[in-house]
Structure 1
Amino acid sequence: MSLVALGEIPDAVNKLRLDFVARPRKSHAFIKAQLLSLKDALQKHQDSIVSALLHDFHRSSQETLVTEFGPLLSEISYLAGNLSSLLAPETPDAMPIAFSVASCKIEKEPLGTVLVISPFNFPLSLSLSPVAGAIAAGNNVVLKLPGDKCPEFCKVLSRVLAEALDPEILVVVTGGLKEAQAVLEQKYDKIVFTGSTAVGKIVHAKAAESLTPTLLELGGKSPAFITAGCPNIRTALARLFWGKFCNAGQVCVAPDYLLVQDSVYDQVVAEMVAVLQKTYQVSEASDYTHLVDSNSFNRLAGLLEKTRGKLLFGGARDRETNFVAPTVVTDVDWDDPLMQSEIFGPILPVLRYSSLAEAVQTVQQHHDTPLATYIFSDKQEEVQLVDSIRSGALSVNDTVVHAGIHTCPFGGVGTSGMGNYHGRYSIESFTHRKVVLKQPYWYEVALKDRYAPYSAAKSNWLMFVYRLPSIRRVRQSDLVTVLAVVLAGLVGYFIGKR
């Protein structure tokens, strides 16, 4: 890994691209060694990383360990342990009969050089999860870290990466807007960006100039529903508040607002107070995470001053430390300032609804395609209704945890992003499916009718062949099963003849 300054970015990226051209196919042994080296370095420097995030925005050690270290180390272990099978070539399930004698496989070819632009809110996992996936797929990587938001963390992680990874496969840039603009001026084979929709549009537009594909994870206003079908309101609220207030609400998949059915609204509000008083009586001196900077603090303080809702709990804040306490605002309507854009902080607006179908339609009208949708209900018809909202994911009776499951794809849809990654889905995102076909010469007898001079007879014959059903490829496991059945039948036949 090499850490480069602003003026060195063009040469560093160009060298990384040339290094990939010189070594486009890295051995599985090399890739696995890099992944395991990264895992070992992270474990070795775990305390330093935790301390750095505590320094940058008062992030509690438990939140860093549970939401970042645990899922990330698990994913890296999965990639390293299953690398050969993840990168193994595939074969088509079936072939058109006209080409059935050809040898055909689908290779997973690395794209080349990938740019990963990391956000500040989970700067460990949201930088290294795509980096690990891109490296596992055989790519070189440029990593842009948010040095303007969490400088101490970026210093520590840069040292960790320098210790762990080969400088020919990774370049790290740390800084703010100027550095981000400089890295975007370079040519890549894919860009991964995690952040706001507004900045995501800028990244996507810049990438389009060079026809560079993008993987965008953009967040949005993710709704949560509590219906009369919720069997345990107190547990539902505990799970909801954990997802909302973790990391001081600076979570892209956090429930952004809550919709509660009329018939249980008063009960839910009463239970809210009990759960909040038990769990979220915090101050700026406690281990509750703070906002990352004064801009975030001023934005959220402004929303609390402008809202027309009723303050149910919280509202305390400290400008000097960028602390905003977990806050719940009830009796909010759709036109409230809290409902205009993603909150990205520890403020939960609560809305009332009577018809779930109408509430779903209203969500679709105001905030279509969120990154996640949540519902607390055991009624399947209610879950199906909420599932009609197009979103990156749907969680039933829990929040946020789906984003940390490395065996499932993570990503948005529409305004909440495009593409996905994690585990084998990272391999899919960072490779090109390359068809490799080998046609035997002896088959020329069946192919010669495609050549000129053309005729109606040739056309009719070729079109007839194309209309024939495709032939399913017989896999080795299928063949073994067939042979076993035949053998069993023969054994049974001869036993019966005795």
Structure 2
Amino acid sequence: MTTEIQNRIKEVFEKQKDFFGTQATKEIAFRKMQLQNFRKVFASYTDAICEALQIDLGKSRAEAEYVEVQIVLNELDDMIEHMEEWVKPTFVKSKPHASGAEVISKYIYEPYGVNYIIGPFNYPVQLTFSPLIGALMAGNTAVIKPSENTPHVAQVIEDIVKEAFHEEYVAVFQGAVEENSFLLTLPFDYIFFTGSPKVGKIVMKAAAEQLIPLTLELGGKSPTIVHQDADLEKAVQRIAAGKWINCGQTCVAPDYIYVHESVKDALVAQFKSYLKTTYHDESLGKIGKIVSQQQINNLASYLEAAPEKVIYGGKYDLDTRHFEATLMTDVNWDDAVMQQEIFGPILPILTYHTIDEALKEITSRPKPLALYVFSEDQKFADDVIARTTSGDAEINSTLIHVGSHYLPFGGVGTSGMGKYHGKFSLENFSHQRSILQVM
């Protein structure tokens, strides 16, 4: 990275510091106007977004519109409609003053200042702009670095931001490790990172050196439990929808299945039937592209380590970056595929005799970003959730919670920290400042 680029980054950072100091971003009318304008600009780029996503990740138009564009628009509409209500001061009870004077107590949502938002490659539009609009709703300014692994999308993101905002309010800088490392040396007021735990540690270390508060949206091996009383047809359809969307490159994708031994064969048969119908041989690319050839080689190594356990799929194409929906069975925790988050279209299947066995294994490992349980027994499902810890959880479904702006989304432990979406984005990107006044 050249000195010229470093100076340019510093210049924009100082501009945002100065602009935030004018108090303009704290005005509710300003925030609302900016989000309304952004919505118009963002929506006008739908075609460009979908085209870029198809090039970089092989996403179909329908998938791109649903998971990348519409989720952002829905969240924007919710924020614009409710912002004035959400940002009002909250008055609470007061402890009596020793003099008997009247006491008024309240807290306000105070923006942090200049935010740094680091976007990921897997959902590069949604997971860059969802935190951005939350930061702006809260009254902050923002510097964005899109993922270098999806270059066509990154350019569209930059184009959208340049059309929608002045750089002293929101700016984009392209780049990779070198640029990110430099940006992390600046004294931002808040950092929001979505990505791998490995890089998350680097971001958190840099933030810790300057005591910068941050949100980490990471990942992990999200388990799916299929109990003996589950509706297997529904379970397969819903697990498949969560696993193979975006070619398995989803931070909350079902990473593996724990199925009761009595229904394991029936579940496998259901999966094979469903996959043959949905992802037939000539549609290798139907589920999208793996982000890089390096990741394809990594995924292939899991299959090469235990080829006898691959019972469906396993084909891939390095040149086109396509990888087939793949099932592995009779897997155990010593297998290579179980050593880290897969982040690809491989679904390992393990079995359990008693739920205690499965939960012991799950809870002895790092806390996942999501947990899914399929059962017709509400008491059983509630018990599984009560005895485990995960960022979020679903019963008889997968992935849907991520798209809801009515629920807080985020990890716990090694799967992350901080929650956002809807009103929870206001809380995430704000300092809740208590104010007490004695009359």
1:405 corresponds to which residue?
404
3-state SS of the aligned residue for 1:32? helix
Task: Please name the residue that 2:305 is paired with.
Answer: 306
Any unmatched runs of 5+ in structure 1?
441-498
> Does 2:419 match 1:420?
yes
The corresponding residue for 1:455 is: none
Aligned pairs for 1:75-474 within 5 A: 75-92=75-92, 94-98=93-97, 101-146=102-147, 148-230=148-230, 232-283=231-282, 286-307=285-306, 310-365=309-364, 367-387=365-385, 388-440=387-439
Aligned to 2:90, what secondary structure does the other structure show? coil
Size of the alignment, in residue pairs? Answer: 433
**1:283 shift after superposition:** 4.8
Please tell me whether the aligned partners of residues 308 and 332 of structure 1 are also in contact (alpha carbons under 8 angstroms). no
Question: Is it true that 1:66 corresponds to 2:79 in the alignment?
Answer: no
Q: Give the aligned residue type for 1:342.
A: E
SS in 1 for 2:91: coil
What code does the residue aligned with 2:401 have?
Answer: H
Give me the whole-angstrom Cα distance separating, in 1, the residues matched to 2:394 and 2:378: 13
Contact 2:146–2:157 (8 Å) recurs in 1:
no
Give the superposition deviation at 1:266: 1.2
Alignment correspondent of 1:16: 16
Distance 2:282 2:11 in 1: 47
1:339-377 residue CA offsets vs partner (Å, 9 max, x unmatched): 000000000000011111111111111x33100000110
Structure 2 residues not aligned, in runs of 5+: none
State the distance in 2 between where 1:283 and 1:194 align: 34
State whether residues 374 and 397 of structure 1, in contact with CA within 8 Å, keep that contact through their aligned partners in structure 2: yes
- Cα distance per residue 1:438-480 (max 9 Å; x no partner): 212xxxxxxxxxxxxxxxxxxxxxxxxxxxxxxxxxxxxxxxx
Percent identity among equivalent residues? 37
Q: Contact conserved, 1:5 with 1:173, CA < 8 A, in 2? A: no
Contact 2:279 2:286 in 1 (8 A): no
Shift of 1:12: 1.6
Q: Which has the larger radius of gyration?
A: 1
Q: Which amino acid aligns with 2:373?
A: I
Distance 1:6 1:258 in 2: 47
- Does structure 1 retain, via aligned residues, the 8 Å contact 2:57–2:246? no
302-311 vs 106-115, which moves further:
302-311
Are 1:34 and 1:166, in contact at CA under 8 Å, matched by a contact in 2? Answer: no
Paired letter, 1:371:
L
Q: Are the equivalent residues in 2 in contact too, given 1:309–1:331 (CA < 8 A)? A: no
What is the CA–CA distance in structure 1 between the aligned matches of 2:214 and 2:115, rounded to whole Å?
A: 10
Provide the TM-score with structure 1 as the length reference.
Answer: 0.84
Q: Secondary structure at the match of 1:16?
A: helix
> Are the equivalent residues in 2 in contact too, given 1:284–1:323 (CA < 8 A)?
no
Which amino acid letter does the alignment assign opposite residue 29 of structure 2?
A
CA distance in structure 1 between the aligned counterparts of 2:265 and 2:213, rounded to whole angstroms: 48
The one-character-per-residue Cα deviations of 1:306-326 (angstroms, maximum 9, x if unpaired) are 136521211110011111111
- CA deviation digits over 1:182-232, x for unaligned, max 9? 1111111111111111111111011001100110011000000111121x2
The equivalent residue for 1:491 is: none
Could you tell me how far 1:24 is from its partner in structure 2?
5.8
Q: Give the ranges of 4+ consecutive aligned residues of structure 1 lying more than 6 Å apart after TM superposition.
A: none
TM-score by length of 2: 0.95
**Amino acid of the residue matched to residue 370 of structure 2?**
A
Seen in structure 2, the aligned counterparts of structure 1 residues 25 and 132 have a Cα distance that, compared at 3 Å, is closer
> 8 Å contact 1:260–1:351 — kept in the other structure?
yes
Q: Given that residues 56 and 151 in structure 1 are in contact (C-alpha distance below 8 angstroms), is that contact kept between their aligned partners in structure 2?
A: yes
C-alpha separation in 2, matches of 1:41 and 1:294:
34
Query: 2 CA distance for matches of 1:282 and 1:79?
Result: 44
Tell me if the contact between 2:24 and 2:30 (Cα under 8 Å) persists in the aligned partners: no
* Distance of 1:300 and 1:262 partners within structure 2: 27
Kept after mapping to 2: 8 A contact 1:116/1:130: yes
Deviates more, 1:333-342 or 1:33-42: 33-42
CA drift at 1:6: 5.0
Computed over aligned residues only, the root mean square deviation of the Cα atoms, in angstroms, reads 1.6
Displacement of 1:284 in angstroms is 6.6
1:26 matched to 2:26? The reply is yes
